[in-house]
Amino acid sequence: MSQPALLVLEDGRSFTGTSYGATGETFGEAVFTTGMTGYQETLTDPSYHRQIVTQTAPHIGNTGINDEDDESRKIWVAGYVVRDPARVPSNWRATRSLDDQLQAQGIVGIAGIDTRALTRHLRERGAMRAGISTEILDPAELLKKVLEQPAMAGADLAEQVTTADAYVVPAEGAKRFTVVALDLGIKSMTPKRMAERGIEVHVLPATASLEEVLAVNPDGIFMSNGPGDPETTEHPTTLLKQLLEQGKPYFGICFGNQVFGRALGLGTFKLKYGHRGINQPVLDRATGKVEITAQNHGFAVAWPGRENQRSAVDAPLDGPVETPYGTAEVSHVSLNDNVVEGLKLTGRDGRVLAFSVQYHPEAAAGPHDSAYLFDRFAELMEGRN
């Protein structure tokens, strides 16, 4: 029988439920994700490192866990919050239940709470520190420990999730290009999407030097998603500046978009509650098409004139910005809140040199509206060869 469990937010709001997964206590930033499918991919996404994830979909665990859909080597969430966990998984690919997997990896969770009320609270008050415990059931006592935890703002986490050693994902079929992917928290589906397009991907740690990158003799550079505050990520930003100076084609997603913005001289800021889910509408300003995208980020790029982002979210995004490497402009925009969702850099020769998006075009659980961006990256490298 499940033990009682307690969830406490840093502003004192508390929820009582039952233990789900491992017992004990855990702390992190409380966030919510709106995806109705893909919970296995969510749990194993390194971008969720040090976050307590709430699923807004009420029924979680229906399809169990399989051995094929993990996006990395382990579950990264700090804690897990669901309303109505499946009693028995039902899927031909399942090898075990979600509850068993959480227990096996020591992930403390809570079930049976009003996740709608929690989500509404986080939307109104913003993402915040939280704790889940099966050991401390007094809200005031658990709150004291929550308030001792570090905030996500200022957290430098990429080196905690990156690969320890470089590895290669070979191209499928005839090899067309070689790409260096800097692992800031990369998901396994990302190099696979490139490999499907004839790209040999050399995945390097977040600490890789310029010399190590150039030793691969890459046709292009990629920077992945990842956790933490982009303002703390000095090494990848400096590395990208050096690579842009050499005219290397660049593609970045999620955290890689924020690093790109900082390399171009732009700022970043923390969103109130972030964008997390697989139903986020984004406008591609070049084509006028709307993509339904998968997202997971709590920070975003601040365009000039939007430095005080909370009060200037409606400031115009039109107009280019001159950088040391060429002309930058906003390529994609969120249709929910007008946040910058993509950047494009045009070199002095008039050709596109680099681009990035704030979402996940590789999304394994879908949607796949944005998969064309990997083709765009291949075209960019082709034009530079």
Looking at the fold, whether 187 and 320 belong to one and the same domain comes out as yes
Q: In whole angstroms, give the CA distance from residue 264 to residue 267.
A: 9
Contact 295, 360 (CB under 8 A): yes
Residue 296 marked in a binding site: yes
CB 260 within 8 A of CB 223: yes
Question: Is residue 253 a contact partner of residue 342, using CB atoms and an 8 Å limit?
Answer: no
Q: What is the largest CA-CA distance in the chain?
A: 67
From 27-41, 134-148, 151-165, 305-319, the region with the lowest mean pLDDT: 305-319
**% residues pLDDT > 90 (the chain):** 90
Phi-psi region of 297 (alpha: psi -120 to 50; beta: other; left: phi over 0): beta
> Is 55 annotated for ligand binding?
no
* Residue pair 343/261 in contact by the 8 Å Cβ criterion: yes
| Angle formed at CA 375 by CA 378 and CA 170, multiple of 5 degrees | 60
254 noted as active-site residue: yes
257 annotated as a binding-site residue: no
Q: CA gyration radius for the chain?
A: 21
How confident is the model at residue 352, as a pLDDT?
A: 93
* Residue whose C-alpha is closest to residue 357's, from 286, 304, 307, 305: 286
Residue 198 backbone phi and psi in degrees, to 5:
80, 25
Give tens-digit pLDDT for 250-293: 999 999 999 999 999 999 999 999 999 999 999 999 999 999 99
Domain check: are 89 and 182 in the same one? no
Categorize the per-residue pLDDT at 305 as very low, low, confident or very high, splitting at 50, 70 and 90. low
- Is 260 assigned to a binding site? no
CATH assignment of the domain containing 120: 3.50.30.20
Q: What is the mean pLDDT of residues 43-58?
A: 97
User: Is residue 325 assigned to a domain?
Assistant: yes
Tell me, what amino acid is at 190? T
For residue 29 the two structure tokens come to 């930033």
Q: Count of alpha carbons within 13 Å of 222, Cβ hemisphere only?
A: 30
Instruction: Tell me: do 78 and 172 sit in the same domain.
Output: no
Q: Considering 10, 200, 231, 362, which one is annotated as catalytic?
A: 362
19 is in an annotated binding site: no
Give how many domains the chain has, as a whole number: 2
Query: Is residue 362 annotated as part of the catalytic site, yes or no?
Result: yes
* 378 three-class SS: helix
Instruction: Give the confidence band of 307 by pLDDT, cuts at 50, 70, 90.
Output: low
Tokens found for residue 363:
């999304």
Q: Could you tell me how many helices (H) and strands (E) the chain has, helices first?
A: 10, 20
Predicted confidence (pLDDT) per residue in 363-377, tens digit: 887 788 999 999 999
- 98, 304, 326 from 105: Cα distances, Å: 11, 43, 47
Distance CA 8, CA 16 (A): 9
Q: Are residues 102 and 237 in the same domain?
A: no
- Residue 303: per-residue pLDDT: 86
Residues 354 and 237 in one domain: yes
Residues 135 and 219 in one domain: no
Same domain, 91 and 209: no
Mean model confidence pLDDT for the chain = 94
**Contacts for 224 with CB less than 8 Å, ≥ 6 apart:** 181, 182, 183, 184, 185, 186, 187, 190, 252, 253, 254, 255, 256
CATH number of the domain to which 300 belongs: 3.40.50.880
| Residues 289, 283: Cα–Cα separation, whole Å | 6
| 273 and 371 part of one domain | yes
Q: What is the pLDDT of residue 348?
A: 82
Residues with Cβ within 8 Å of 150's Cβ and at least 6 positions away in sequence, in order, are none
Q: How far is C-alpha 358 from the geometric centre of its chain's CA atoms?
A: 9
254 lies in the same domain as 374: yes
Handedness of CA 312, 314, 320, 325 (dihedral sign): positive
Q: Which of 202, 254, 297, 332 is catalytic?
A: 254
Which one is catalytic: 275, 297, 332, 360? 360
Tokens at residue 157, please? Answer: 């986490």
**What are the pLDDT digits (tens) for 54-103?**
999 999 999 999 999 999 999 999 999 999 999 999 999 999 999 999 99
313 falls within a domain = yes
Residue pointed to by tokens 């194993």: 44
Would you say residue 335 lies in a domain? yes
Omega of the bond leading into 367 within 30 degrees of 0 (cis): yes
Higher pLDDT, residue 343 or 307: 343
Q: Is residue 153 part of a domain?
A: no
Give me the domain span that covers residue 377.
158-382
My answer on whether 69 and 91 are in the same domain is: yes
Coil, helix or strand at residue 14: strand
Does residue 244 sit within a domain? yes
Averaged pLDDT, 319-324: 91
* Per-residue exposure over 46-63, b if at least 16 CB sit within 10 Å of its own CB, e if not: bbbbbbbbbbbbeebbbb
Among 122, 148, 174, the domain-final residue is 148
pTM for this structure? 0.95
Same domain, 115 and 136: yes
Q: Residue 310: its pLDDT value, please?
A: 47
Domain boundary among 148, 166, 199: 148
Of 193, 187, 191, the residue nearest 69 (C-alpha) = 187
- 124 has catalytic annotation: no
Q: Is 298 annotated as a binding residue?
A: yes
Cα dihedral across residues 103, 30, 41, 46: positive or negative: negative
255 annotated ligand binder: yes
Least confident of 58-62, 124-128, 153-157, 345-349: 345-349
Helix ranges, 162-276 (H)? 189-195, 210-215, 234-245, 255-263
